[in-house]
């Protein structure tokens, strides 16, 4: 391709990008660049410090971002981050991450296999109604627990139980009846799901 043509194409696309940005604001993938440092490329977190966010329903992601924004969900960092985005930007990112496939962390993390069976029973009795298909179904708008990083599940549950984050009322009724050991086993069960 002659050099002049390449230049024309290059500047042409820069101009196009510039004007569409001015009109429509940053695109979902540009916004998501900020999240990738902690939540991994494509929302698959590579370490236990941040949860995998790919594949959860857009409805769920929007709700959680709102909870962070308004302080209804305890966070070390997400409350400050969520405050930096408009509802429109959050909706764009929610759609973006919801469309990406979830990937289980089960093969990348240690879990206590001795507790998994007891955890499955706790799950069936107390959690299955809302966290469908072993906590893997995004359409229930309750997140994805199957194959999530275990430390994230543990501190999120600790925040709920200590009242630092607000639980859905019917979930709280179930959780309040369970012992520390039962809670721990059900989290091990989720962490073990491929
Ligand atoms: C500096 C690291 C960091 C960055 C950057 C970051 N996050 Fe997070 N995110 C976390 C951590 C850690 C948590 C767990 C809550 C907490 O402690 O803040 C979390 C939790 C979440 C959750 C809740 C997941 C669940 O299962 O309920 C969502 C959704 C989320 N982040 C979305 C985003 C989006 C969207 C962005 C980009 C705008 C982003 N995060 C940027 C670290 C980060
Ligand atoms: C009545 C429905 C319901 C029941 C029963 C229920 N949950 Fe939930 N759960 C939800 C909803 C809805 C959310 C999302 C809450 C939010 O927006 O913060 C959630 C969120 C969670 C989260 C946080 C997910 C994340 O990615 O941050 C964990 C962990 C969890 N539930 C565990 C459990 C366990 C363990 C049980 C059984 C002992 C249970 N839940 C029972 C509805 C339920």
pLDDT at 75: 97
pLDDT at 49: 86
Q: Is 90 exceeded by the pLDDT of residue 120? A: yes
Range from 2-6, 129-133, 155-159, 183-187 carrying the lowest mean pLDDT: 2-6
Least confident of 26-30, 55-59, 154-158: 26-30
* pLDDT at residue 24, rounded to an integer: 62
Residue 162 has pLDDT above 50, yes or no: yes
Could you identify the residue written with the tokens 């507790």? 115
Nearest CA to ligand 2 atom 9: 142
Which atom of ligand 1 has the smallest separation from the CA of 32?
37
Q: Is the CB of 166 under 6 A from ligand 2?
A: no
**Residue 18 pLDDT more than 80?**
no
| Minimum mean pLDDT range among 6-20, 80-94, 113-127, 154-168 | 6-20
Token representation of residue 187? 């989290």
At CA 7, angle to CA 3 and CA 9, rounded to 5?
115
Residue bearing the CA closest to ligand 2, atom 36: 127
From the CA of 102, how far away is ligand 2's center (Å)?
18
The residue to mutate among 165, 171, 182, 185, having the most atoms of ligand 2 within 8 angstroms of its beta carbon, is 171
Q: How high does pLDDT run on average in the chain?
A: 91
Residue 79 confidence (pLDDT):
97
- Buried/exposed 142-171: b ≥16 CB within 10 Å, e otherwise: bbbbbbbbbbbbbebbebbbeeebebeeeb
Q: Find out whether 148 and 105 touch, Cβ atoms under 8 Å.
A: yes
pLDDT on residue 23: 55
Give residue 15's pLDDT band: very low, low, confident or very high (50, 70, 90): very low
Is residue 77 in contact with ligand 1, taking CB distance under 6 Å? yes
Nearest CA to ligand 2 atom 40: 127
């Amino acid at each position: 391709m002659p050099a002049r043509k390449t230049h024309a194409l290059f500047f042409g696309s820069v101009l196009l990008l510039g004007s569409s940005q001015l009109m429509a604001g940053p695109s979902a993938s540009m916004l998501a660049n900020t999240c990738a440092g902690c939540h991994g490329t494509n929302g698959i977190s590579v370490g236990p410090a941040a949860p995998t966010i790919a594949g959860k329903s857009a409805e769920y992601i929007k709700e959680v971002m709102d909870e962070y924004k308004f302080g209804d969900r305890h966070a070390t960092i997400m409350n400050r981050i969520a405050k930096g985005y408009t509802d429109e930007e959050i909706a764009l990112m929610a759609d973006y991450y919801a469309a990406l496939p979830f990937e289980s962390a089960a093969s990348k993390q240690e879990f206590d296999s001795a507790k998994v069976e007891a955890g499955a029973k706790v799950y069936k009795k107390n959690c299955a109604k809302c966290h469908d298909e072993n906590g893997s179904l995004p359409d229930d708008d309750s997140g994805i627990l199957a194959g999530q990083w275990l430390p994230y599940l543990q501190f999120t549950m600790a925040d709920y139980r200590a009242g630092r984050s607000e639980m859905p009322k019917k979930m709280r009724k179930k959780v309040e009846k369970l012992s520390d050991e039962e809670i721990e086993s059900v989290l091990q069960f989720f962490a073990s799901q491929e």
